[in-house]
């Protein structure tokens, strides 16, 4: 059995057998501390939580939801799918959004490569247009899939919510 320090302080976060599984046996660390089965289990659980949180924040659906999860992001991207729009046009269409929040939403989408901001060459004054990039347009398929899922399953979500409310309240 080997003990592997996994953090920068050299603390023993997990205990690994030769077959890479967490040991259930009590044992003694290099510093002489005896770890019980319970301590080993808690250390393993804590490590698993930390690893899952680290992976969840960076990969998969979590990253996608963070990318499009702003209150106004999807509606803004939907409006830009029809073509370039001026800031004021987007502001008017997104009835209820503040200038500050719209600016933050546009900047985030531009930072993430979903939209591009450019000067409108068809106008004599300097008017800025916002347009989807190829990356932004590539969201149409996954968003259409989500839309289909909602159309097919949302009544089940509502039924589950009603059932839960009746069970909790009743």
Domains in the chain, start-ordered, CATH in brackets?
2-58 (no CATH), 65-137 (1.10.10.10)
Is the entire prediction scored with pTM above 0.95?
Answer: no
Q: Tell me whether strands 34-35 and 27-28 are parallel, antiparallel or unpaired.
A: antiparallel
Residue 90's CB is within 10 A of a number of other CB atoms, namely 19
pLDDT in tens, the chain (170 residues): 444 444 444 444 444 444 444 443 444 444 555 555 666 566 667 777 776 666 555 667 778 888 888 899 999 999 999 899 999 999 999 999 999 999 999 999 999 999 999 887 776 666 889 999 999 999 988 888 988 999 999 999 999 999 999 999 97
Contacts of 46 (CB under 8 A, 6+ apart): 13
Q: What are phi and psi of 20, to 5 degrees?
A: 70, 20
From CA 159, how far away is CA 170, in angstroms rounded? Answer: 16
């Amino acid at each position: 059995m080997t003990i592997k320090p996994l953090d920068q302080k050299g603390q023993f976060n997990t205990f690994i057998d030769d077959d890479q599984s967490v040991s259930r046996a009590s044992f003694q660390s290099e510093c002489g501390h005896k770890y019980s089965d319970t301590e080993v289990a808690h250390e393993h659980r804590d490590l698993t939580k930390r690893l899952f949180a680290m992976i969840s924040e960076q990969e998969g659906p979590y990253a996608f939801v963070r990318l499009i999860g702003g209150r106004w992001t999807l509606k803004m991207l939907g409006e830009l799918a029809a073509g370039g729009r001026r800031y004021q046009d987007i502001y008017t269409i997104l009835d209820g959004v503040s200038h500050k929040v719209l600016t933050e939403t546009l900047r985030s989408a531009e930072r993430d490569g979903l939209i591009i901001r450019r000067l409108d060459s068809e106008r004599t004054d300097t008017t800025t247009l916002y347009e989807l990039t190829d990356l932004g347009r590539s969201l149409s398929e996954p968003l259409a899939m989500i839309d289909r899922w909602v159309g097919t399953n949302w009544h089940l979500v509502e039924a589950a919510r009603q059932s839960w409310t009746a069970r909790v309240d009743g």
